[in-house]
Amino acid sequence: MDPQWDDMRIFLAVARAESLSEAGRRLRVDPATVGRRVARLEESLGAPLFAKSPQGYALTDAGQRLLTHAERAEQAMGAAVEEMQGSSNTLSGQIRIGAPDGCANFVLPQVCARIAQANPDLEIQILALPRVVNLSKREADLAITVSAPTAGRLSVQKITDYRLSLAAARSYLRTAPKLDSLADLPGQRIVGYIPDMIFDKELDYLADLGLETPHGASNSASVQFNMIRQGAGVGIVHDFALPFAPRMQRVLTEAFALTRSFYLVRHDDDRRLERMNRFATALVEGIRAEVQRLESEVA
């Protein structure tokens, strides 16, 4: 029996989720049904596709070989649907963006709201994670990162630079020890990342200042921002986030500033899909404009 596309779709979901229950949740199918469909596909192909372990479902050698063909079939199906639907002035369907939580909280809501207003049939999902989004497992359709990946079949485009500064709440500064230079920082309460949970070297801000053990810490940039806003101490924040906290202010601006970059990362094969190209263009242009707008308010 030739495997049908629906079986391949279920195979892809299990391969990416490494779990029948998670694959079923994503597909909105009962996990038992997912298991039966996988077993049927394995029987039709005459080879085991997954090895089950306490860690979940891992692809066998046969499964790895099938994965390449299944992903190509998925891309072909997407391109065929797009071509049959014909060109349209608006986008539709669902698109999921993975992003670091600073960008996801302070930039993407405004950008995606404008894109959605222009495309009322488009469903945009924002996956905010304090870690790297796994595109190979289709956690998202595209991702925003702070480092350009160098491995995998990915398309990488620089979006924009953005600035970061030392900042504190005015309530903290009123009672804190003097803060006239970088030499005064060791005497301050410092807020930053949990050191062993920094998922990208570009986020290891405090190391450059010799402040590797913060007094208040989180794996989330947004949580750090709110800790600083509540007077927990001094920390490094995105300049584009500061307009959302009028009672916070930058400090030591002449002595310290950082510049980092956002990159748009996509599946390489998605460049063939006009729908994804149009959305990526709108997203990149929107992020550039929004970062510039927010940073100009601070400047």
Model confidence pLDDT, tens digit, residues 275-284: 889 999 999 9
Confidence of residue 156 (pLDDT cuts 50, 70, 90): very high
Give CA–CA dist 174/170, Å, rounded. Answer: 6
Q: What b/e string do you get for 198-232 counting C-beta neighbours within 10 Å, with b at 16 or more?
A: beeeebebbeeeebeebebbbbbbbbbbbbbbbbb
Residue 97 burial (C-beta neighbours within 10 Å; 0-12, 13-18, 19+)? buried
Residue 39 has pLDDT above 50, yes or no: yes
What the chain holds in terms of domains, given with CATH numbers, is 5-85 (1.10.10.10), 93-160+261-298 (3.40.190.10), 161-258 (3.40.190.10)
Tell me the pLDDT tens digit for each residue of 197-246. 888 888 998 888 888 789 999 999 999 999 999 999 999 999 999 999 99
Report the predicted TM-score, pTM, of the whole model to 2 decimal places.
0.75
Residue 1 has pLDDT above 70, yes or no: no
The two three-digit tokens of residue 101, written as one number: 């939580």
Confidence of residue 154 (pLDDT cuts 50, 70, 90): confident
Give CA–CA dist 166/158, Å, rounded. Answer: 25
Give CA–CA dist 192/227, Å, rounded. Answer: 10
Residue range 63-81: average pLDDT?
A: 76
